[in-house]
A and B are shown apart, each in its own frame.
Chain A
């Protein structure tokens, strides 16, 4: 009977990765174990599927090149989320620079493209929520997504985002207030 991806602990996967003979296999298992979680995390920030696909690939390439030096101060999951978040935020910043648009316009463009996106299947309220989210500062959006959609604990978020729990709670509170206001006004 063969092992499923989830049968391997993160520690076992890192151990396998560090052996030359099982390196490729271990990497493949890591990708298959985390690809969906990371994809959805990035997708909620970038909205567009193909941008998300590029960023997810870049994330795993960074993992491939950096896993040897991963010191295991934090969990693999936390480390992967941190890389994915940084990659997604860098992607957004590069996009803003590339299109010569001031900060708010990329979000406006994404907001407008949501309705015609063939890979968006939400109802009117979900669409409104996504549009409201696009009005938030990027890091506040990350905090909101992790808490609201992924139901992540503040302590875990604090490790990923390297911020204090208090600051995260305040950020989430402000995000909810702003979204609530947006929903009422639109």
Chain B
């Protein structure tokens, strides 16, 4: 306090009481409003999270298929046509089994999420557009006139 009086004598004379106010019952109602918002967001995002949980399995299946195909290609140079055919059949069987182990519903959900993500990624937000135009040399005044 003495330090404040020394470096800010005028400031130290100002009433320190909080000059701001809140609407009536704001704090009483806050937790209810917050719970409602959390509940709403939970419902919105829950299915998406559920689908995302399958992603590691899908990625693992994809890597397995690629590895098998790569192995086939490499070994294909050293095998007879007949052996190659039987190897192809083996791979097809493994791939088929991998795909059957993933439910159709999951595949559809993942495709849906991917398409939503792609479309949301490709959307240019107004802020990005403004940043781009300003980087291109447009002044704030020109932008405001164009709005």
Contacts and interface: CB of A to CB of B under 8 A. Distances in A.
Interface of A: 24, 28, 31-32, 35-36, 39-40, 43-44, 49, 53, 56-57, 60-61, 64, 94, 97-98, 100-102, 119-123, 125-130, 148-149, 173, 176-177, 179-180, 183-184
A180 B11 contact: yes
A100 B21 contact: no
A184 B111 CA distance: 65
Interface in B132-147: 140, 143-144
Interface string B24-52: 00110011011101100100000000000
Nearest to A24: B35
B67 to A, nearest CB: 33
24 contacts: A31-B30, A32-B31, A49-B20, A49-B22, A57-B37, A60-B34, A97-B127, A98-B127, A100-B144, A101-B140, A119-B23, A120-B20, A121-B20, A122-B15, A122-B19, A125-B15, A128-B14, A130-B19, A148-B16, A173-B7, A176-B4, A180-B7, A183-B11, A183-B14
Nearest to A50: B23
Contacts of B19: 120-123, 126-127, 130
Given A35-B30, A129-B14, A119 B21 contact: yes
B21 A179 contact: no
Nearest to B30: A35
Contacts of B38: 61, 64
A176 B7 contact: yes
Given A130-B19, A180-B7, A180-B8, 19 more contacts: A31-B30, A35-B27, A39-B22, A39-B27, A40-B20, A56-B30, A97-B130, A98-B126, A102-B140, A119-B20, A119-B21, A120-B20, A120-B21, A126-B15, A126-B19, A129-B11, A177-B8, A180-B10, A183-B11
Tell me what chain A mostly uses at the interface: helix, strand, loop, or mixed. helix
B37 to A, nearest CB: 6
B18 to A, nearest CB: 7
Interface string B74-104: 0000000000000000000000000000000
Contact of B34 (A49, A57, A97): A57
Contacts of A125: 13-15
Nearest to A98: B127
Contact of A184 (B4, B10, B131): B10
B50 to A, nearest CB: 16
A61 B38 CA distance: 7
A121 B30 contact: no
B71 interface: no
Contacts of A32: 31
A35 B33 CA distance: 13
Nearest to A128: B14
Contact of A40 (B11, B18, B144): B18
Contacts of A60: 34
Contacts of A173: 7
Given A123-B15, A149-B16, A180-B10, A28 B35 contact: yes
